[in-house]
Amino acid sequence: MCLMSQELAGDPSIHLEELFTDFRAGSLRLRNRFAMAPMTRMKSPGGVPNTENIDYYRAHAAGGVGLIISEGTYVRGPAAGPQANVPRFYGDDSAAGWRAVVEAVHAEGAAIVPQLWHTGLERGDSPEFEPAVQSVSPSGVNYTGQRVGRALTAADLDTLVESYVESALLAQRLGFDGIELHGAHGYLLDQFFWAATNHRDDAYGATRRGRAAFPARVVAAIRAAVGPDFPIIYRYSQWKGADYTATIAETPGELEELLTPLVDAGVDIFHTSLRRHWLPEFTAYADDLSLAGWTKKITGLPVITVGSVGVDKVFRGDRIDETQAQRFRVLQQQFDRGEFDIVAIGRALLADPEWVNKVRDGNLSEITPFR
């Protein structure tokens, strides 16, 4: 099956031209509304981006995206992640590799932000990277209540804030166009959001606003360090890698309690990670909005949507019943309703780095499908 069917190519009701208009938010300038979603690759030996990484990002910038969000990059510990070949975002060697990536991407006309990442308890008990260091998380337990590693102390939290600030300042110094904080999928910042993994009884737990307090503290510290114009993107999700049915908010009001502290702290753009961008989030409400739509309605800030765009199978899930034409029509309608500002593409770009250019030019039959 071709990624873009003849049905889509010839359907006059589908107009994606508006997604090829420019976008601005603070100092961020994009040539279109398409972003490359962050995708872990583990192809940076010793945590240092090399020539293969530079060529990879250059090819996707040349392929037409407006924004590249890098694969997850480890902040300095404690215990940021399990894999030694995930790139790091600290230290002179990694900085030199990332500088070359930025220059390559900018030369092709795209913007780029690094995704700053700490995996928390998802690192597990047998990491390849820093094996002697114990894994850390808000309460030292996973979502089933099983003990994994240890709970973060007040001193640990201070160190983590410094680590995020260190990486954000490095991104600014290297010429990146902003940063993204990975607060989704059950990783460290999300573990504070999620009641199942946050059992703290101090200022960083107990209530939804309490659970949002540490992620907001990280945002506020970065904002104070980088100044008012350097964009901060915050990625979050309902679902987790360990539980696709998980929720951090059951209602729009609960979601507002979690997001408002982040807005107040200085987030510029939210990136709502979805598995199916076209599904409504809170079905008990009349507003037929996706999580991206609710996020924009609640916060008033620009939003990135994502979730099985351009592919025929949900990530680690079943085949999708809707046709490409149906889903692109929904994507267009969501954009027309103002539910999102940018759409992130993942697997489709892995299969074909020229995906955006081919969609723009109408060369749909030439797209290499993801398999």
- Read off the pLDDT band of 4 (50, 70, 90): very low
**pLDDT for res 316:** 67
Q: What one-character DSSP code corresponds to residue 266?
A: T
Distances (CA, A) of 237 to 156, 258, 307, 348: 25, 12, 11, 21
- pLDDT top residue among 157 and 321: 157
Which residues, including other chains, have CB under 8 Å from residue 223's CB and lie 6 or more apart? 232, 265, 266
Q: What is the pLDDT of residues 84-121, one digit of tens each?
A: 999 999 999 999 999 999 999 999 999 999 999 999 99
Residue 270 corresponds to which tokens in the numbers above?
């939210």
User: Is 234 among the catalytic positions?
Assistant: no
Q: What percent of the chain has pLDDT over 70?
A: 95
Residue 342 confidence (pLDDT) above 70: yes
Mean pLDDT for all residues in the chain: 93
- Read off the pLDDT band of 7 (50, 70, 90): very low
Q: What is the pLDDT of residues 178-220, one digit of tens each?
A: 999 999 999 999 999 999 999 999 999 999 999 999 999 999 9
Q: Which of 277, 329, 311 is nearest to 4 (CA)?
A: 311
Residue 280 confidence (pLDDT) above 80: yes
Residue 14 confidence (pLDDT) above 50: yes
Which residue type sits at 360? Answer: R
Q: What is the pLDDT of residues 56-67, one digit of tens each?
A: 999 999 999 999
% helix, strand, coil for the chain, step of 5: 40, 15, 45
Is the distance from CB of 51 to CB of 40 less than 8 angstroms? no
- Read off the pLDDT band of 364 (50, 70, 90): confident
pTM of the shown model: 0.95
Q: What's the rounded mean pLDDT across residues 243-249?
A: 94
- Read off the pLDDT band of 285 (50, 70, 90): confident
**pLDDT for res 11:** 57
- pLDDT top residue among 183 and 14: 183
Domains in the chain with CATH codes: 6-366 (3.20.20.70)
Which residue type sits at 182? Answer: H
Place of tokens 């990670």: 273
**pLDDT for res 369:** 86
How far apart are alpha carbons 93 and 106 in whole angstroms?
A: 21
Residue 49 confidence (pLDDT) above 70: yes
Distances (CA, A) of 184 to 119, 236, 355, 367: 10, 4, 26, 30
Residue 14 phi, psi (nearest 5): -105, 120
Residue 1 confidence (pLDDT) above 60: no
- Determine which one of 56, 90, 187, 234 is catalytic: 187
- The least confident of 58-72, 150-164, 204-218, 354-368 is 354-368
Q: What is the pLDDT of residues 21-45, one digit of tens each?
A: 999 999 999 999 999 999 999 999 9
